[in-house]
Amino acid sequence: LPLGRFMVGTGAASLEDAVRLTAEAKSLGFAGALLLPPFYYKGIAAEGLVAYVDAVIAEVGRDGLQLYLYHFPQNSGVPYEIDTVTRLRRAHPDVILGLKDSSGDLEYAAALSRKLEGFAVFPSAEASLGRARELGFAGCISATANVTGPFAQRAWSGGTVAARDGLAQAVEIRAAIARFPLVAAVKATLALLTEDPNWRKVMPPLSPLSDVELATLKRTLRATALMSNERTERREARRSR
């Protein structure tokens, strides 16, 4: 896929690093830079967070910059409060185009969608797709979409039996994977689907699933549409040889 189809994370603890990464994302032609707040210091005042984002934009340059805020307070410890997002959007409507919400708070995401016209809000779990059009979401950015993609796409289409089925299947697969550390479990799922154990590898400080966890994950996924579809496709591929 062309880089213009991707957002890339450029947030960093230091302003200098965030500027460098965001500038590189812009120069390479990514569709957007996903900016975490500066996460080393906690309890940052709204004024400080606004000044930080203002500085990133000023240093990188507005021309051609497409910035998306990344709200993940469980990991960053620094939230993008609704009032702060509103200030930033109104100050930079041509640059700050949306927000990825990994907080799991659907009401937060819906409130931003209602308040800021044309602002693209992406919740982080497939379950949100059931009300995405009603609540004005731009879609969903989910780690598990690496494996739920076809089901999530049907859910996004909305209003049909296939969409409802796709939503239920995507949510079921997500729930099976989310019983384990998410990144390691997504990679383990890819290893199962591709029959390539190299997919289980993760970068430090993360750890791969243990063999026991992998076996449990496999057993759980077999009850979902993900593994049943995969088994059907393999049988059909063998017949066609």
Nearest to 81 by CA among 105, 55, 57: 105
Asked if 1 contacts 30 with a C-beta cutoff of 8 angstroms, the reply is no
100 is catalytic: yes
On the 0-12 / 13-18 / 19+ scale of CB atoms within 10 A, 102 is buried
All CATH 3.20.20.70 domain ranges in the chain, comma separated: 1-141
Asked if 189 contacts 202 with a C-beta cutoff of 8 angstroms, the reply is no
CA distance 178 to 104: 13
C-alpha 204: how far from its chain's center?
20
Tokens of 170: 């995507």
**Catalytic residue chosen out of the listed positions 26, 68, 80, 100:** 100
Encode pLDDT of 104-157 as tens digits.
999 999 999 999 999 999 999 999 999 999 999 999 999 999 999 999 999 998
Encode pLDDT of 73-90 as tens digits.
999 999 999 999 999 999
Tokens of 97: 């185009």
- CB neighbours (10 Å) of residue 43? 7
**Catalytic residue chosen out of the listed positions 26, 68, 70, 108:** 70
pTM: 0.91
Encode pLDDT of 199-233 as tens digits.
999 999 999 999 999 999 999 999 999 997 655 45
Asked if 54 contacts 84 with a C-beta cutoff of 8 angstroms, the reply is no
CA distance 21 to 207: 26
How is domain 1-141 classified at the architecture level of CATH?
A: Alpha-Beta Barrel (3.20)
